[in-house]
Amino acid sequence: MMNWNTLISAKRFGLEEFHQERHENRSEFQRDYDRLVFSAPFRRLQNKTQVFPLPGSIFVHNRLTHSLEVSCVGRSLGTDVAKAILARQPELQNSYLPEIGSIVSAACLAHDLGNPPFGHSGERAISTFFSEGKGMALKEQLPAAQWE
């Protein structure tokens, strides 16, 4: 059985000196979500197009909107999972397990950060450039562990 008390931690590296000053109006997991929302990389997602080919039409919006929508669904699913686990293991009520909805929501919010242009097709093109194209010239300049 999983030990949820060791899997989920509210400790944030580099923020230890602020913990005494914090008010308990938000959990660390809610703060993670907020940090993402106010970050420049997340805001830049508004300039990236997200295309959904649906039968009979093509639905287009930006990745910021898409990430917010995914985050809402993730929060609901995470909350449902936490409720199901707590129903079987009520002794975990005072753990961080009830925060799974916030944790999944933040992960969903960040899921498109750092993606290359053109999504998975762009990722394959970049990979091919380095494995078969002119990018192979860089292989000799890097240690083997870095190349992999």
The domain spans of the chain are 26-115, 117-148
Which residues is 49 bridged to in the sheet?
A: 62
Helix, strand or coil, per DSSP, at residue 54: strand
Helix runs in the chain, H state only: 4-7, 28-37, 40-43, 63-88, 100-109, 119-131, 144-147
Domain 26-115 in CATH 3.40.1160.10: no
Quick count: other Cβ atoms within 10 Å of Cβ 96? 19
Question: What token pair was written down for 101?
Answer: 């909805």
Helix, strand or coil, per DSSP, at residue 57: strand
Handedness of CA 118, 124, 104, 42 (dihedral sign): negative
Spell out the per-residue pLDDT of the chain, length 148, in tens.
778 878 888 887 776 666 555 567 888 899 999 999 999 999 998 988 776 666 666 667 788 999 999 999 999 999 999 999 999 999 998 888 899 999 999 999 999 888 777 777 778 888 888 888 888 888 888 788 877 7
- 33 HSE (CA, 13 A, CB side): 19
DSSP type of residue 115: P
| Distance separating alpha carbons of residues 121 and 51, to the nearest angstrom | 13
- State pTM to two decimals: 0.71
- Those residues whose C-beta lies under 8 Å from the C-beta of residue 77, and which sit 6 or more positions away, are 104
